[in-house]
Amino acid sequence: MGGHMTRAIDAQILNPDVAPDYRNAPKFDPMLGFQNGRKERVMMVSAEDMDVAKVPLRHRGYCAHLYIEWRKCMQDHFFMTSKCGHSKHDFENCEFEDYVLRMKEYEREKRLLKRQKRIREKQLREDIGG
């Protein structure tokens, strides 16, 4: 609990200017700092396919194709769902990797905001000093 409270206090009270707004798109260029570029994330399943498969909103992300595959396996092997363990593991692993990637993006945005603040403060000191 302490870590969550500390992070919330730090982001909302102590340093709101360097806390990324996770509800909006990133402010910085996603290619900033990547000389060779980055691999673009693509949805493997369209919104229509997710509607047809009745994928819940909480699972409509980059791992939706694995969720659909897992649920299909559960339907095919109704009484032997233990055969779908591999599909479930693939889906959960994809969800975990997606979470880690989003966490890294949040931390990257936070570092870039801190960098921008340092540059602004340095520029302000130089303007005032001379």
Task: With CA atoms as reference, report the closest residue to 56 among 68, 73, 43.
Answer: 68
Q: Please indicate, yes or no, if residue 11 is contained in any of the structural domains.
A: no
Q: Please indicate, yes or no, if residue 118 is contained in any of the structural domains.
A: yes
Task: With CA atoms as reference, report the closest residue to 64 among 72, 77, 54, 55.
Answer: 55
Q: Please indicate, yes or no, if residue 75 is contained in any of the structural domains.
A: yes
Q: Please indicate, yes or no, if residue 32 is contained in any of the structural domains.
A: no
Q: Please indicate, yes or no, if residue 83 is contained in any of the structural domains.
A: yes
Q: How many domains does the chain have?
A: 1
| pLDDT by 10s per residue, the chain, length 130 | 566 677 777 767 777 788 888 788 888 888 888 888 888 889 999 999 999 999 999 999 999 999 999 999 999 998 898 999 999 999 999 999 999 999 999 999 999 999 999 999 999 988 887 6
Q: Please indicate, yes or no, if residue 112 is contained in any of the structural domains.
A: yes
Cα 36 from Cα 1, distance rounded (Å): 40
Q: Please indicate, yes or no, if residue 54 is contained in any of the structural domains.
A: yes
Q: Please indicate, yes or no, if residue 115 is contained in any of the structural domains.
A: yes
pTM: 0.80
Cβ contact 61:29 at 8 Å: no
Question: The domain containing residue 93 runs over which residues?
Answer: 45-130
Cβ contact 53:77 at 8 Å: no
